[in-house]
Amino acid sequence: MPGTLVVIPTFNERENLAAIIGRVRAAAPEASVLVVDDASPDGTGALAEEIAASDASVHVRHRAGKEGLGAAYLDAFAWALDRGYDVIVQMDADGSHRPEDLPGLLHALDADAATPADLVIGSRWIDGGRIENWPKRREWLSRGGSAYARRALRVPTRDTTAGYRAFRADALRRMPLDDVHTRGYGFQVDMLWHAHEAGFRVVEVPVTFVEREHGRSKMTIGIVVEAMARVTAWGIRSRFARRGTGD
Ligand SMILES: Nc1nc2c(ncn2[C@@H]2O[C@H](COP(=O)(O)OP(=O)(O)OP(=O)(O)O)[C@@H](O)[C@H]2O)c(=O)[nH]1
Ligand SMILES: [Mg+2]
């Protein structure tokens, strides 16, 4: 029975995969898991198949090569919407997004929550949000990037780059996903901006973000530059569009 799907994109996460799936299954036993692997050279895809063979709630998608996080998520969204899941969660494989925070994210989507959301963001930069094991330099880069995107795009969210998110599927279905072109790290900002423009109710809940212990970061300076350049261009474009409509 469709319900909640936790999407875990992977590229060379063999050391992390079994642990993260185990923790998701423990924290949210009713949720299914979809691993989206971009032909990881370290064999993450084969390991995902092994796990799926012994757990019917775990699914795997294999993509031909490394095309970026955004491409993997768009593929997963289409897969999940096709199959009628009600809630779609984004989660990194490296343990930065703690599965134990998942019930809090899902609760904010509930109809009986104080302000039921279309999109819930696991936020580092609101009261109660924390980060563990990040060098100050990384913290300031992330805070600065979030603040810049918030101002440039006029979105109300504190953590605009966070990758730990939960979408209500019916809201995601209304989004123009074909207009989301960012494939790298800016994908998160791109999606948030489109969600905001589409009138989504976006709610932030505090999470503890933990730096990866195993494996290597796929974050590069090129990814940061792509994100900053795009945010600047979107900000300018949306201002002109508003002026054009007299807003
Ligand atoms: N399928 C797929 N997954 C990816 C790709 N790039 C990154 N990922 C996954 O996306 C998640 C986030 O990537 P990370 O490398 O952790 O990026 P980050 O969190 O910004 O950087 P660090 O935590 O410092 O390593 C991880 O689960 C990665 O394995 C990609 O091109 N394709
Ligand atoms: Mg990470």
Query: Strands across the sheet with 87-90, in order?
Result: 58-62, 32-37, 4-10, 87-90, 165-168, 119-123, 202-206
Burial class for 163, CB neighbours closer than 10 Å (0-12, 13-18, 19+): buried
Give the Cβ contact number of residue 99 at 10 Å: 22
Distance from C-alpha of 120 to C-alpha of 84, rounded to nearest angstrom: 19
* Dihedral sign for Cα atoms in the order 118, 119, 122, 125: negative
240 alpha carbon – ligand 1 mean position (Å): 34
The residue type found at 240 is F
SS3 200: coil
Q: Which atom of ligand 1 is nearest to the CA of 68?
A: 31
How many angstroms separate the alpha carbon of residue 188 from the centre of ligand 1? 12
Buried b / exposed e over 131-152, threshold 16 CB at 10 Å, is beebeeeeeeebbebbebbbeb
Which of 92, 161, 221, 226 best tests ligand 1's pocket when mutated (most atoms within 8 Å of CB)?
Answer: 92
Whose Cα sits closest to atom 28 in ligand 1? Answer: 10
Q: Is the CB of 71 under 6 A from ligand 1?
A: no
CATH topology of domain 4-244: Spore Coat Polysaccharide Biosynthesis Protein SpsA; Chain A (3.90.550)
Going residue by residue through the chain (247 aa), what tens digit of pLDDT does each one get? Answer: 569 999 999 999 999 999 999 999 999 999 999 999 999 999 999 999 999 999 999 999 999 999 999 999 999 999 999 999 999 999 999 999 999 999 999 999 987 777 789 999 999 999 999 999 888 888 888 898 899 999 988 999 999 999 999 999 999 999 999 989 887 778 999 999 999 999 999 999 999 999 988 877 776 777 778 888 888 988 888 888 766 554 5
Residue nearest atom 24 of ligand 1, based on CA coordinates: 217
- Asked whether the whole model's pTM tops 0.85, one would answer yes
Distance from residue 49's CA to the centre of ligand 1 (Å): 19
Using CA atoms, how far apart are residues 59 and 5, in angstroms rounded to an integer? 10
CA distance 99 to 20: 7
